[in-house]
Amino acid sequence: MNIDRWTRRVTLLLAALAVLLSGCTTYVTTQVTAFSDWSGSDATRTFAFTRAPDQQNNLELATYERMVASELAAHAFREVDGAQARYLVGLSYGIRSDMVTVAQPVYYNPWPSPYWGRPFDPWGPWGPYPATYVNQTYPIFTHLLGIRITERATGKEVYNVTARNSGGESSLVRAMPYLARSALADFPLGNGAVHTVKIPRGEGGGPANEVVATGSAPAGVPVPASGAKAAE
């Protein structure tokens, strides 16, 4: 089994467990991978979004651009006309669905109810009987956001960051605020950095104002491949 397939299976299994525990979790965990040659200063952080010709009137993309613009503003970026911008920002995004099967235990109760107990019964109503397992299948959705920053004058790529999370959320637009905030939570990350960002759910299902925890993994950690819809 190759590493990419193993990593993908582990990711899906963990996401399946997250679905099972969704009633008690209050956080969204996102993996962020960045490649960077950033040297910009606050004084030069002017930007404009760039799109492919066939996406000029794309309302979905425009919605995601507003979310990303809000996160960029927290890092002193200022949106201006394309002809005056120092940086061009392109987005890519996508969602993929998978089905994951998880074996769940089912216990056999040999004692008809009501069960009144027996003297010194250490097992309770189920007794020392082994559990049987029933396979349950759950949908898992992987959400992706990529942000690519280039210098307008030279076309040089200076920052490329990808945010990815998985869970039971079937809507990309509801997952996007977490992706955008995670992607830019610690801007700028070092080149080849792999970062994990944990954000609490706020009221109404959106992200809370605080990034609770972030952690880094060594560069070179394999990241599962995923398709994306480009808008560059």
pLDDT tens track for 54-68: 888 999 999 999 999
- pLDDT, residue 220, reads 44
d(CA 143, CA 173): 10
- pLDDT, residue 145, reads 98
Token pair recorded at residue 148: 């690519």
d(CA 158, CA 139): 37
Which neighbouring-strand residues pair with 150? 88, 157
d(CA 210, CA 202): 9
d(CA 124, CA 82): 71
Token pair recorded at residue 109: 């109760």
- pLDDT, residue 226, reads 36
Token pair recorded at residue 220: 């070179």
Token pair recorded at residue 98: 């998978």
User: Helix or strand or coil: residue 169?
Assistant: coil
Inter-residue contact 29 to 197 (CB < 8 Å): yes
Decide the pairing of beta strands 229-231 and 87-106.
antiparallel
Answer whether 0.75 is exceeded by the pTM.
Answer: no
d(CA 157, CA 150): 4
- pLDDT, residue 124, reads 56
- pLDDT, residue 126, reads 52
Q: Domain 3-103+141-204+217-231 belongs to what architecture?
A: 2-Layer Sandwich (3.30)
Inter-residue contact 197 to 30 (CB < 8 Å): yes
Go through 75-104 and write b for each residue having 16 or more CB atoms within 10 A of its CB, e for each that does not: eebebeeeeebbbbbbbbbbbeebebeeee
- pLDDT, residue 117, reads 52
Token pair recorded at residue 70: 């809000």
Q: What is the mean pLDDT of each run of 10 residues along the chain (232 residues)?
A: 52 51 68 94 90 92 97 96 96 92 71 53 56 82 97 96 94 96 95 94 63 52 40 41
Domain ranges of the chain: 3-103+141-204+217-231
